[in-house]
Chain A
Amino acid sequence: MAKLYSRKKLKTMSPKKETINFLLNYSKALKISTYKKLEFESILN
């Protein structure tokens, strides 16, 4: 009997949920303030 190769699901590759959550939290916490020509980065965590 012929094999149904099309049924075979391709393994998808994605980063871990924790990594995504970390990035979203980092984005929320990161604040960049400017004073004249200076830039300040602060993490509000």
Chain B
Amino acid sequence: MNNAEANDAFLVKSYMEGDEQSLSILINRHQQRIYSFIFSKVFDKDIAEDIFQDTFIKVIRTLKRGKYNEEGKFLPWVMRISHNLVIDHFRKNKRMPKFENSGDFNIFSVLCDSGLNAEKQIIKDQIEADVQELIKELPEDQLEVLVMRIYKDMSFKEISERTGVSINTALGRMRYALINLRKVIEKHNLVLTN
């Protein structure tokens, strides 16, 4: 019997025996019906394409495993698989609805990712590392106050208690620390902005 005219049962059998050409004939024979059926449910070409592909992946795996019971119902069996996959698709969508951007309203105008992107994060890390190096140039007393205030988040009252100077002196040291830091930045022509 010519392969192209052979019935489904014969093609399925020869495919299970290793004839890849039979699968090609089977797919070509039924693709239109199966694809149209899927499309009639999902109304989206890409989704229909995906489900069609998944359907035949299941078919191929079942046939290769030799788990298929030939009862002359190849097409209804494939249709049933695609039907189940369509149901799975809708179930998945129900659990996790997809928002389609349509019309004037753009969801991204109200939703945004406030985190930095990879590039900005790297720049931020570099700047912070540079600043940590720069403050080492400050005189010891100013450095001490600046570290306590900025990195340890202590109040000036706590700083004055810890360092044994008045609050005003601590404030003054902080002020000079910042002034000196600016001078160092200017001297080295550094740009420390993201």
Contact = CB atoms under 8 A, between A and B. Distances in A.
Interface of A: 12-16, 19-20, 22-24, 26-28, 30-32, 39, 41
> Which of A14, A22, A27, A41 counts the most chain B CB atoms within 10 A?
A27
Given A14-B35, A19-B53, A39 B23 contact: no
A32 B65 CA distance: 7
Given A20-B27, A24-B20, 20 more contacts: A12-B32, A13-B39, A14-B32, A15-B48, A15-B53, A16-B49, A19-B52, A20-B28, A22-B53, A23-B27, A24-B24, A26-B57, A27-B23, A27-B60, A27-B64, A30-B60, A30-B61, A32-B61, A39-B65, A41-B61
Say what secondary structure dominates the interface of chain B.
helix
Interface residues of B, number: 20
Closest 4 CB pairs of A and B: A13-B36, A23-B56, A27-B60, A15-B52
Contacts of B48: 15
Contacts of A22: 53
B31 interface: yes
Contacts of A12: 32
